[in-house]
Structure formats: structure tokens, C-alpha cells
Chains A and B, each alone.
Chain A
Amino acid sequence: MRCPAPPLPAQPAPRSRPGAGHGAGAGRRARALRAGGTALLLAACATLLPGPRLAQQASAAPPQAAPPPGIRWEGTAREGLARARREGRPLLVCVNALEDERANIQLATQLYRDPAWGRATRSYVCVVANPNEHGAAATCARYGHVPCSAHKDVLAWVLRAVSRDGALISPQHLIVEPDGAIAYRKEYFEGHEGPALFEAWLARLAPLAALRQARADRAADLAQLATCAPKDTAAFARAIVKRASDGLGGLVLVAALEDTSDPLRRAGLLDALGDTPAAQALALVPAAEAATAEPALAPGEALAWTQVLLRVDRELGLWAAARVIARGDAPLRTRVLEAVSGDRSPAALGRLPPGERAVLEEALLLAGAALPPGLAPGDAEGLERVPSHRRQRARAQGSTPRPQALPPALGALAPAALRRALLAASVESVVAHEAEVRALLEGSLHLRVRVAAALALLGARRGPAEAVAACLEAAFDDPLEGPEARTLARARLAEDPGENPDEWARLLRARPGGGK
């Protein structure tokens, strides 16, 4: 069913490969169904086998006055991408370019019109790709909602975006992140796409939108969780997150947590949240982030959320644990370390994989805490997990930062290293390298290097005051460098100029000896 480049409007409609009407795609589907379980087989049969109603629809393709129910299609690819970006919604792209092929027909005439598919994709921006005209009306007779020019435009965009050789499988489905990266792409239709998958991806890519959708679509679940006996909360909640067909189960529990302050109910919900499928783990991050931002406010919640994430997704659990360790107090750190190692014995930490030890070591260094037995400073095995620049920072934070000497050949350094060296340079070192630093201030192509040179000279009270001030004033106006440059300049001035530009100008130019 691989079709040779579904062509643009002026060309003939795309065609399946000879004999592919029930060929490649159908064959692949059949194998997949045999490999799958009974539930999948039944669900897939319900969608894949065309019954009389489907055959009737396919042959007639009647024009419709009212938009069909189901997925709400939006305009061109450009409009869809712009809205997705603006509103932080994923973009669902449905390639449905072969109108004489069974799966394409079934999707267009049945599944895309299914109310369940419509509900599950409500928080998406949905576009459909097809090269043909369907009637003369302003709204496409095959898909509804949009004119045929829109689905033609989408097909042209898909071809540009994903098909280097101009060939494209139809049907296929893509889920695109709001910033344009392709998060999901599946060629052919084998029954994977459906409400549960759309919800799970929504939860992963846009957790806040998914939370709103969970509130709207799972009102009955929320009501049950709010009214059941508190001791039964965990059991009810666990039943919800274990529903295979529910891509938003974890978020139903998050919504229920937001709605209750009952400690028993909350404990039950948090306990059940640990059974959330790993596919929904990212949806839990915003709530976990809030709970671990200031662990001192609610240490029990911070610990509970860390435990939830450790059960759902070990990687995310370590992320939460590191936040609590870096921000919490000593007793809480101890409890989190126990939760990570699964053991109260200090030696258990030493049995963790090197990458996990590196994460904990970094967090403890940031907290200024001593490393417990089992965690050794200088453990190099975990570098892949915690990049060296992060670990260096952790060590710098853990000790009093000391000014450093500038390296001998400044010109040989890459801008990032040069900037770091200049910002960390001691006054004596800047004085010794004044000519080189001035040359960087006046000649570097990189704004961040010029700013770092200006800050180094400002801190050392050397160099041409006017050039230093002009460079910094220009940087203050730069949206990227401005905030950081202000903070760093303020630290190097004896007084705080506040937000007054005249005061900044005066202080930046006030220099012992004039700084000619």
C-alpha cells in the first residue's frame, strides 16, 4: 500500500501498489492481530472488518450538510501548527490519501466520525491529509468541517515534512509536539490508534490540557472518588488507573487529589497513583514538581510524590528524589535516600547503579550535605547520567566559589569556556591579562563573551570605562543576556543602581583613575 507520492492537486489521485487493496497493509494487520491478545483481536475486528454499513458508506460517500461527529478537523497545516504552538496543544495528523483502500475508507467513514475518537482528540489540533476534491460545497463532503483545499494543503506539508523521497504510506498517523517535533508516527492502521492512545499521548505531551480533559470526561469517576468511604479510596482509585482503555486514569487521580484535603483520602490516592502505567508517567510531573519545589512546606507530600514516581518510572523518581534532597532538610533527605535505595542500611546506596549514585551525589553536594557511606565523591561512572558541567556546578555550590586564574591562551577557548573563565577570573588575573580581555571586549563576535569580558574588567576596575559601560548597557537591552548581565554587574558594583538607567550609567562609568 506504499503509494508513490500522493500527488498534489493537479495530478491524478494516489494509487495503491498493484494488488495492494487487501495486500501489504491488510496482511500486516492480520499478522499483528494474530500476535495480539483476545481483547485486541475483538477490538480490532470491530474496527477493521467492513460490515454492510461501512461498505454502503464507502460506495456512496454522500455529501453532508452538517459536520460529522467525531474528530473536528482544522484548516491548513500552517494554521494547525500555529494554533498548536500558540495554545500548547499536540497536532494530530491523519494521512488518509487512498480512497479506494479498505483501512483508509474505514478510518474516513467510520472511526474518524466516532464520538469516542472525537472526545479523545478534543484537546488536539487535528488535521487530515488527502489530495482529492470531495464535492463542490464549501465544506469537504468526505471529512466535513474544512474545505478540500485544507486537507490538500496538509498532504503537501506532510510530504515536505516526513517524506524525503516523495513516497508516503496511507493511512498513517502522526502526533506532533507543539514546538514541531514528531512525537509519534505509525504507518498503516493496525488498530493501535484510538481513544486510549490519543489520551495517553495527550497526557504525556500536554499534561495540563490532559488534566482539564480528565476533569471533563471522567466526572463520574471523580464523583465516586469524592463520595466513597475514605478507606475505599485506594481500591477505587487503583481500579481507575488499571483500566487498559483509559489513557487519562492517572490524571483522574491527580484531579481528585486537587479536590480533597482529607488525609486518608489523599494517602489512598497517592498510594494508587503508584500503579499508574509508565506511559502516563510524564503527566504526573507537574504535580510532582509542585510537591517537591519547597519540600519544607509539606515534607510528607514531597516524600509521597517521590515514592509514587519511583514506582511509576524510576528515572522520574530519581529526578524527584534529587529535588527533595537538594531542597529539603536532613531528616527528609534520609527518608528519600531510603526510598531510593529501598533499604535503611547505608550500604544499600553503594549497591545502586553508578548513574543513580551520581544523581544522589550531585543533589547532596548541592544541599551542602556530607556524602553518606556508599556514595563516593569523584565517582566517574555516572557521568552519562549527570553531565560533568552539572557535577562541577554541584561541587562549586557545595564549597565556597573561589576566583580562578585565567588560562594562558584565551584566544584558543571556545566561547562557552571563555565566558566561564572570564566570569570566574580573579582580579589579579584580569589585571595580568588586561590587554587580552580588552581585545575580547572590543573584538569578540559573541555577545556573551563581550559581556563576560566587560564584567571581568568592571570587577577589576580596569579597561576603558566607556567601552565597558556601553557593552553592558547594550547587553541589558538584549532579551537573552540582559537579566543575567544585570545580576552579575550588580554583584561587581559597590552600590545597587536599582532600575534607574541614569544611575546605572553613572556607576558603570565611575572608575578610580578614570579608566581611559
Chain B
Amino acid sequence: MRATAPRAPARPWALLLGLLLALAGSAGLWAGDGPTIPERRRALLEAQGDERIGFALDRLQGRIGAPEFADTGAFGDWLGALPDGRAAHPVVRLRRGWAYVTARRGAEAVELLEAALRDDAGSGLVRAYLGEALRQSGRLREAMPMLASARRTGYAGGHLRQSAEECFHGLRAGGTGKDAPALPDYAVGAEAWLAVGPDAALQALLARALLDDLAAHDTPSSERGRLWARTAAPHALDASLQPGAERLASAQLALDAALALDGEEAAQPGRTLRFDLLARAYALGTPLEREGHDLPEVLPLLAEAALAEGRPELAARLARQRLDLSESPAARRVLLSLPPDLGD
């Protein structure tokens, strides 16, 4: 399948291509410029070997947007009508699959891409297209594992990441988890993707979605709530550690994740993840250019966590810092819990 790699199915590129081709066509650049469609068709039918077939397809594909192929979907339909078994050739089949995915007609691409996958099970590209085709056809629960399997092969096309994110949003739109017995579908799908490797942006989305749904539909003290909180927390921490993320949004995410862990960890020694989340929220909420703190409520929480970790000096410093900003009963409670030689 060398030389047959079709373009990514991302719609912006397809639209741009179509626009350019349309402009070129309207300017009359096609007239008398290279072989005609029938000539190219003949070349495709006569081509031998994957590479030559791929080349012939590339030449035909260049006419998408011209009157013969209004869009990639029409191109796919045209390929499907090729005679003499050519339409079923693996290279043509894959190109048809790509064409339908690009035209957002994923349901028509699924069978073609499944056949292509049987021919080449190790192809990340085919898996990525099949995942996107499944997503477009509404089979979101199957789509994310397929996209994850594409990622696992090492395939790293930009459209793959975009497909995964759209799949996540689709799964979430399909159900917030209110009635899910355990993790919502979107979280199961995202976990499949993240099992292959970290992805800070998707981790942030997953953590935020779980925390929002937890706040809306459950409590941190229920078994399901604990599961959601435990799932969200490490992703929130990873996401908040990424440089470039929006500072206050990341700080709030870390704080919310720590608060969601309350029911799980508050009474346990070694509250490691909660402490780390609060410490992260504290660090991110510290403005660089001025005094004060953008998330003052994190200070007494972290002071309490520091006290539980056996760091009363740190707890004292944080509680005082909070009270320097404004009145805080929570910070005063920390001061009342300090060893009696500390806290001034």
C-alpha cells in the first residue's frame, strides 16, 4: 500500500482542496491541461501493482471539485462503480473508504475499511480511518478503541487526535453518566485512548467532565462517586502539570479534583494525590507579578492537608498567608490545630 496513503479525512483540508480545485476549474486551468477523466479512468483500470494503482488514483483524486467529482463522496461513488473487480482492489477500496470518511459518509466507509484492515491488520492509518468512520456512523463505543489501536501502532496523524477528541465529545453528548452504573461511556472510551499514552488535553477534558457530572449527579461519598473522583484525579494532576495550559482553569481543575477526593481520602493518612492536587492548585493560583493568590480557598485546604502530613510549619505558613489576604474561618481552624509553639 505504499504510495496509496490518502489524505487525512479532516474536513477543513477537504474543503480547502475543493475550493482550490473549484477556483482552478473556474479559471479554465483544466481545459486541455493533462489527460481527461476517461483517459485517467483507463489508466487506473490498466494499472498493475499497488504503487501504479495508487498513482493513478492520485491523478484522479486531483479532479475532486471539478464537475466530474463534486466532492470526495462523489469520487468514492465513482470508484465503487469501476468494472472488472477494480472497485474491490484493496488499494481502491481503501481510497474509497477515505473518500467517504472525508465526505462525512462514514457509515458507507466502515465495510470498506474493515476489509482493508483484514488485509493489513497492522496499519495505523486504516485503523485511524476506520475509527473515524465508526464515529461518523454513530458507533462511538467501538470508535474510541479503534482509534486507540491506531495510536498504539505508532500512527500519529493529526486527524487521529482530532477524531479521538470528537469521539469523546460525542460520547459525552450521548450520556453524561447520570444513569451509568459505573464509569460513563465517555470515560471508558477516553481511558482506552489514554491507556496507550498520556494526552494532556484529553485528560483535562475527561477530568473536567467527570467532576462536572459528579457535582451534578452524584456525591463523592457514594461508591460510584468515589470511582469517578478516583478516575478524574490523576488526569487532573497530569493535565495541570502541562505547560501552556490556561493557568487558572488548570488550578481550578486541580482544586475541584482534590475536593472530589474528600470522601475518599480526607480521613486517610498519606493523602498523596489530594495533597499533590492541592499543591498544584496552590502553585498555579499564585500570581507571578503581584502579591496575593487567585484561589485563596485552596490555602486552608492545603494547610489542613499539610497538617495531616505532619508538616505543621507549612500549615502555619499557609494559614497565615490566607488570613493575610482576608478573613477565613477555615484558616483560623488550622491555626487552632497547630502545635502550641507555632502559628504566629
Spell out A's residues near B (CB within 8 Å). Answer: 85-89, 160, 164, 177-181, 183, 204-209, 282, 285, 289, 293, 316, 319, 322-323, 325-327, 362-363, 366, 389-390, 392-394, 397, 414-417, 419-420, 445-448, 478-481, 483-484
Given contacts A179-B300, A415-B270, contact A289 B344 (CB under 8 A): yes
Interface 9-residue window, one of B52-60, B81-89, B153-161, B306-314 = B306-314
Residue of A nearest to B344 (CB): A293
Residues of A within 8 A of B328 (CB): 88, 177-179
Structural contact, A393 and B312, CB atoms closer than 8 A? yes
B22 to chain A, nearest CB (A): 44
Given contacts A178-B326, A446-B276, contact A282 B332 (CB under 8 A): yes
With a CB–CB cut-off of 8 A, which chain A residues contact B326? 85-89, 178
Most chain A beta-carbon contacts within 10 A, residue among B219, B283, B300, B335 = B283
- Flag B119-153 by CB within 8 Å of A: 1 or 0 each: 00000000000000000000000000000000000
- Chain A residues lying within 8 Å of B340, measured Cβ to Cβ, are 319, 322-323, 325-327, 362-363, 366
Give every chain B residue within 8 A of A285 (Cβ-Cβ).
332, 336
A413's closest neighbor in chain B, by CB? Answer: B270
* Residue contact A416 to B219, C-beta cutoff 8 Å: no
In angstroms, Cα B300 to Cα A88, docked, is 13
Judged by a CB distance under 8 angstroms, whether B282 is at the interface is yes
Q: How far is the CA of A340 from the CA of B86 in the complex (A)?
A: 98
Number of B residues near A (Cβ < 8 Å) is 40
Chain B, 293-344, CB within 8 A of any chain A CB: 296-297, 300-302, 309-314, 317, 322, 325-332, 335-336, 339-341, 343-344
Known: A179-B297, A414-B272. A319 touches B283 (CB 8 A): no
- Is B269 part of the binding interface, using a Cβ–Cβ cutoff of 8 Å? yes
> Can you list 21 A-B contacts with CB-CB less than 8 angstroms, sorted by A residue number?
A85-B297, A88-B328, A177-B328, A178-B328, A178-B329, A179-B301, A180-B297, A183-B329, A205-B327, A206-B329, A282-B332, A289-B343, A326-B341, A327-B341, A363-B340, A366-B340, A389-B310, A392-B310, A393-B310, A393-B339, A397-B341
- Best-buried of B302, B325, B326, B331 by chain A (most CB within 10 Å): B326
With most chain A CB atoms within 10 A of its CB, the pick from B282, B296, B301, B310 is: B310
Within 8 Å by CB of B341, from A87, A366, A392, A448, lies A366
Chain A residues within an 8 Å CB radius of B216: 160
Q: Is residue B164 contacting chain A, with contact meaning CB distance below 8 A?
A: no
Contact for B329 among A204, A397, A445, A447, CB less than 8 A: A204
> Which residue of B is nearest A87, CB measured?
B326
Which residues of B come within 8 Å of A, CB atoms? 215-216, 219, 269-270, 272, 275-276, 279, 282-283, 286, 296-297, 300-302, 309-314, 317, 322, 325-332, 335-336, 339-341, 343-344
- A416 with B309, Cβ < 8 A, contacts A87-B326, A164-B219, A179-B300 known: yes
Cβ of A394 and Cβ of B339 under 8 Å apart? yes
Are A160 and B282 within 8 A (Cβ)? Answer: no
A484–B245 Cα distance when bound, in Å, is 27
Contacts of B317 in A (CB 8 A): 483
Give the nearest-CB partner of A388 in chain B: B310
- Bound Cα distance from A414 to B309, whole angstroms: 10
Number of residue pairs A-B, CB distance < 8 angstroms: 116
- Whether B276 and A179, one on each chain, are in contact in the complex, defined by CB atoms closer than 8 angstroms, is no
- B282 and A479 contact, CB distance less than 8 A: yes
Contact across chains for B310 and A416 when beta carbons are under 8 A apart: yes
B270 neighbours in A (Cβ, 8 Å): 414-417
Determine the residue in chain B with the shortest Cβ distance to A293: B344
Interface contact B332-A208, CB-CB below 8 Å: no
B279 / chain A contacts, CB cutoff of 8 Å: 447-448, 480-481
Closest residue on chain A to residue B333 by CB atoms: A282
Cα(A205)–Cα(B331), bound, Å: 11
Which residues on the B side are within 8 Å of A323 (C-beta)? 340-341
Point out the residues of chain B lying under 8 angstroms from A366, CB to CB.
339-341
Known contacts A86-B326, A285-B332, A363-B340; A179/B296 CB under 8 A: yes
User: A322 CA to B275 CA in the complex, in Å?
Assistant: 29
* CA gap between A97 and B269 in the complex, in Å: 43
Closest to A477 in B: B283
Are A289's CB and B283's CB within 8 A? no
> A89–B339 Cα gap in the complex (Å)?
27
* Distance in angstroms between the alpha carbons of A179 and B279 in the assembled complex: 17
Give the interface centre of B275, B282, B340 by most chain A CB atoms within 10 Å: B340
Query: B9 to nearest A CB, angstroms?
Result: 37
Question: A419–B343 Cα gap in the complex (Å)?
Answer: 22
Pairwise interchain contact B329-A446, C-beta atoms closer than 8 A: no
Q: How far is the CA of A363 from the CA of B44 in the complex (A)?
A: 91
In contact, B314 and A484 (Cβ under 8 angstroms): yes
A86 to B294, CA, bound (A): 9
Q: What is the CA–CA distance of A445 and B277 in the complex, to the nearest angstrom? A: 12
Q: Name the residue of chain B whose CB is nearest to the CB of A321.
A: B340
Q: Roughly how many angstroms separate A419 CA and B309 CA in the complex, as a whole number?
A: 10
* Closest beta carbon of chain A to B140's beta carbon, Å: 28
Residue of B with least CB distance to A479: B286
Contact residues in B for A394 (Cβ distance below 8 Å): 339
- The residues of A that contact B215 with a CB separation of less than 8 Å are 160
**Nearest Cβ on chain A to B173's Cβ, whole angstroms:** 21
- Cα–Cα distance between A164 and B216 once the two chains are bound (Å): 7
Q: How far is the CA of A143 from the CA of B224 in the complex (A)?
A: 41
A394 to B327, CA, bound (A): 29
A414 & B327 in contact (Cβ 8 Å cutoff): no
| 10 nearest CB pairs, A to B | A88-B327, A88-B326, A414-B270, A322-B340, A179-B297, A326-B340, A416-B309, A389-B310, A206-B327, A479-B286
Q: Find chain B residues with CB under 8 A from A417 CB.
A: 270
* Known interface pairs A85-B297, A179-B331, A205-B327; 7 further A-B residue pairs with C-beta atoms within 8 A, sorted by A's residue number: A208-B327, A323-B341, A392-B310, A414-B270, A448-B279, A479-B286, A484-B314
Instruction: Output the residue of A178, A204, A325 with the most chain B CB within 10 A.
Output: A178
**CB of A168, distance to nearest CB on chain B (Å):** 16
B297 touches A414 (CB 8 A): no
Q: Which residue of B has the minimal Cβ distance to A286?
A: B332
Bound: A183/B327 CA distance, A: 14
Whether A478 and B283, one on each chain, are in contact in the complex, defined by CB atoms closer than 8 angstroms, is: yes
How far, in Å, is B25 (CB) from chain A's closest CB?
50
By the criterion CB–CB under 8 Å, are A319 and B336 in contact? yes
Bound complex: CA of A362 vs CA of B339, how far in Å? 8
In the assembled complex, the CB of B272 is this many whole angstroms from the nearest CB of chain A, namely 5
- How many Å from the CB of B229 to the closest CB on chain A? 16
Contacts of B309 in A (CB 8 A): 416, 419
Which residues from B are CB-within-8-Å of A484? 311, 313-314
Across the interface, which residues of B come within 8 angstroms of A322, CB to CB?
A: 340
CB–CB B272/A177 < 8 A? no
Q: B247 to chain A: closest CB distance in Å?
A: 13
- Collect the chain A residues with CB atoms within 8 Å of residue B300's CB: 179
Point out the residue from A177, A204, A415 that lies within 8 Å of B330, measured CB to CB: A177
